[in-house]
Amino acid sequence: MILSASGWRKVFAASGDEQDKSPEITETDRSIAVIAADVFFDYISKLTGQSSPVIALGIDARPTGPALADAMIHALIKKGAIIQYSAVTSAPEIMAYAKKLDGFIYISASHNPVGHNGIKFGTNDGGVLCAAENAKLVEDFLKRLKDDKGVVEAIKQAYSCTTSELKSVYDVKDSSKHNALSAYKNFINETITGTDDKEYQTDFFSMLDAYITKNPIGVVCDFNGSSRYQSIDRDYFKERKINFYSINDFEIAHEIIPEAENLVHVAAEMERLHKEGYNEVVLGYMPDCDGDRGNIVYWDEKAGKAVILKAQEVFSLSVLAELTYSIWQHSDEKDFKPAVAVNCPTSMRIEEIAKALGAEVFRAEVGEANVVNLAREKRSEGYTVRILGEGSNGGTITYPAAVRDPLNTIFALLKLLMMRDGGIYQLWCNKSGWKYKEDFTLTDIIDSLPKYTTTGVSEPRAVLKVKTTDHSKLKAAFQKAFEADWKKKSADLKKKYGIESWEAVITNGTKETCDVKDFSKSGKGGLKVLFKDKDKKPVAFIWMRGSGTEPVFRIMCDVKGDNADMEKALLEWETDLIKKADK
């Protein structure tokens, strides 16, 4: 079982088949759910000083969710918790709801196959527990699982709860769901507008509504049976007078991860709608099962077809939108210091966007909790970090949210489109030197992005299986192989790609360390080799890190410009060096 801060995960389907859609779980896994609930109750009770803490409990749309939730409900009842069970709930929804409670447990395996499931824990700060706090739960969880008698007693205690006690939890399920939806809607208004000022929110949405009335906009969603089908999406778009269309509302019809190979379905639906005359449809999205990711498809009016945006492009557009929006809101403030927090493998195009807008970029290790905590650190230092996330998977987090949310991504793009005269896209053009035209479209905005060629996170060549379990040892061997090869290849790299020097950069948690001489110091964190030209300016990087949630080693390459040959060559070189080191 993987026990990372972003989720405790395994295949919970009783058959052990990760593609199994059956709802049954084993007795062993029922025990795991009970012990996990006990551990979290004791943690949150101690943290809050409450003997009966109020805990939100929700599930994504996976078949094994109800069985795991039921086991946890049994355990939490006997521990004395006040349980707000909202059944199928999206991750951003339960985290918004929990801000008014003591904490939450969310049963989900995010983008992993349907037979997987998992558990996320959080307090009321809007996100999952950080790595240090999660480690406390993991230590307690593993200790309890080793005590066979203790496990038997915990199960006995949990399942001693009465029918009436269970009924009291399930009877308020609809009420809990209503409250979760209401809290989420109020919170999404705050994240989209960047303020909790209701008068400002009213003025902002009035401006949006006025634009949409004159210029109809449509959005299509491939729910793929996810938790977002039972969230606010449909009603929220309707309230904003945005035409909303959807497919696969009730069924997980294809693979869950919202990458290019699965976005073809929403792209096809967008093209079908256009053929039938619904030409206002300009954006489409597909969430993962817990509804916190949702990469984008847009209508390219020049090509006359639906185009799937790459994850790094989605994030870059969101950064462009929210940075310019933040400047538009706060530029007259004396101490305004805009910044972006991203993970290590996010494309360097973010630095170009930020530099043009006078903002700084800070990088953390892969992991949503790492990026969220880095942003918090920078805010405590006086920076305004409106936008953060992991460009490598398109995950956009818009402050004050501490979790990704496709609605924030969609509305970031809508801000670019609908704020016209003196708007944020015009601000971007003025700052970047890009030629502005009044009748711009989303295609024009995308064309204005700095050009980079980046390995996709879900591409087969981005995932390696290695034998070496000691990542420090593997990276030390990689360094030896790399430095030996550099001596042989440096002249050719200079001639072909203008690469004249390199610098090693590592990320561990929220800390980035540059000019590292010992690659092994990255441990299980991220390792990047940054390649520079004659002016010491970065032109490319290769990156590697063992996954914290999957038994794989992830690699990628980012190259300045439209240069697929260079990206391919550098990634193949990295792959060969890792294989050479993995002996």
Residues in the chain: 583
In this structure, are residues 13 and 24 in contact, taking their beta carbons and an 8 Å threshold?
A: yes
Can you tell me the mean pLDDT for 20-31?
A: 95
Return the pLDDT at 5: 79
In the block, residue with structure tokens 């990047």: 528
- Which is nearest to 169 in space by CA: 97, 44, 84? 84
360-408 residue pLDDT tens: 999 999 988 899 999 999 999 999 999 999 988 777 999 999 999 999 9
CATH fold of 2-181 reads Alpha-D-Glucose-1,6-Bisphosphate; Chain A, domain 3 (3.40.120)
Return the pLDDT at 551: 65
Return the pLDDT at 422: 86
Tokens of 41: 């109750």
Give the C-alpha distances (Å, rounded to integers) separating 456 from 346, 400, 460, 568: 11, 28, 9, 12
Is it the case that residue 22 has pLDDT exceeding 90?
yes
| 420: phi then psi, degrees, rounded to nearest 5 | -95, -85
Is it the case that residue 495 has pLDDT exceeding 90?
yes
- Which is nearest to 415 in space by CA: 186, 219, 212? 212
In this structure, are residues 89 and 231 in contact, taking their beta carbons and an 8 Å threshold?
A: yes
Is it the case that residue 550 has pLDDT exceeding 80?
no
Can you tell me the mean pLDDT for 460-488?
A: 94
Can you tell me the mean pLDDT for 574-581?
A: 95
pLDDT band at residue 549 under the 50/70/90 scheme = low
Is it the case that residue 516 has pLDDT exceeding 80?
yes
Can you tell me the mean pLDDT for 162-184?
A: 97
CATH fold of 460-581 reads TATA-Binding Protein (3.30.310)
**Cβ atoms within 10 Å of 325's Cβ, excluding its own:** 23
157-166 residue pLDDT tens: 999 999 999 9
Residue 227 zone, left/alpha/beta (φ > 0; ψ -120 to 50; rest): alpha
Return the pLDDT at 28: 95
pLDDT band at residue 239 under the 50/70/90 scheme = very high
Is it the case that residue 235 has pLDDT exceeding 70?
yes
Return the pLDDT at 332: 84
205-225 residue pLDDT tens: 999 999 999 999 999 999 999
In this structure, are residues 231 and 184 in contact, taking their beta carbons and an 8 Å threshold?
A: yes
Distance CA 211, CA 348 (A): 34
37-94 residue pLDDT tens: 999 999 999 999 999 999 999 999 999 999 999 999 999 999 999 999 999 999 999 9
Residue 417 bridge partners (DSSP): none
Spacing of C-alpha 131 from chain mean position: 16
| 497: phi then psi, degrees, rounded to nearest 5 | -125, 0
DSSP-assigned states of every residue in 101-134: SSEEEEE--TTS-TTEEEEEEE-SSSSPPPHHHH
In this structure, are residues 280 and 243 in contact, taking their beta carbons and an 8 Å threshold?
A: yes
- Packed helices 349-356 and 311-330: angle between N→C axes, nearest 10 degrees: 20
CATH architecture of the domain formed by 219-308: 3-Layer(aba) Sandwich (3.40)
Rg of the chain over all Cα atoms, to the nearest angstrom: 24
Tokens of 31: 């025990």
Return the pLDDT at 395: 78
Question: CA dihedral defined by 395, 397, 402, 404, rounded to 10 degrees?
Answer: -40
In this structure, are residues 151 and 35 in contact, taking their beta carbons and an 8 Å threshold?
A: yes
* The CATH number of the domain covering residues in 312-450: 3.40.120.10
pLDDT band at residue 548 under the 50/70/90 scheme = low
Whether 312-450 and 460-581 share one fold: the answer is no
Distance CA 379, CA 367 (A): 19
In the block, residue with structure tokens 């593609």: 19
Return the pLDDT at 123: 96
Return the pLDDT at 23: 95
Beta-carbon contacts of residue 256 (< 8 Å; ≥ 6 apart) = 111, 112, 113, 114, 224, 226, 262, 288, 289
Average pLDDT taken over every residue of the chain? 94
pLDDT over 70 for what percent of the chain?
99
Taking the domains of the chain in order of start, what are their residue ranges? Answer: 2-181, 219-308, 312-450, 460-581
430-444 residue pLDDT tens: 999 999 999 999 999
pLDDT over 90 for what percent of the chain?
87
Distance CA 228, CA 61 (A): 9
In this structure, are residues 74 and 169 in contact, taking their beta carbons and an 8 Å threshold?
A: no
Is it the case that residue 558 has pLDDT exceeding 70?
yes
Tokens of 283: 């954006």
Can you tell me the mean pLDDT for 447-461?
A: 92
Is it the case that residue 552 has pLDDT exceeding 80?
no
Is it the case that residue 182 has pLDDT exceeding 80?
yes
DSSP-assigned states of every residue in 241-308: T-EEEEE-SSS--S-SS-SHHHHHHHHHHHHHHHHTT-TTEEEEEEE-TTSS-EEEEEEETTTTEEEE
In this structure, are residues 101 and 54 in contact, taking their beta carbons and an 8 Å threshold?
A: yes
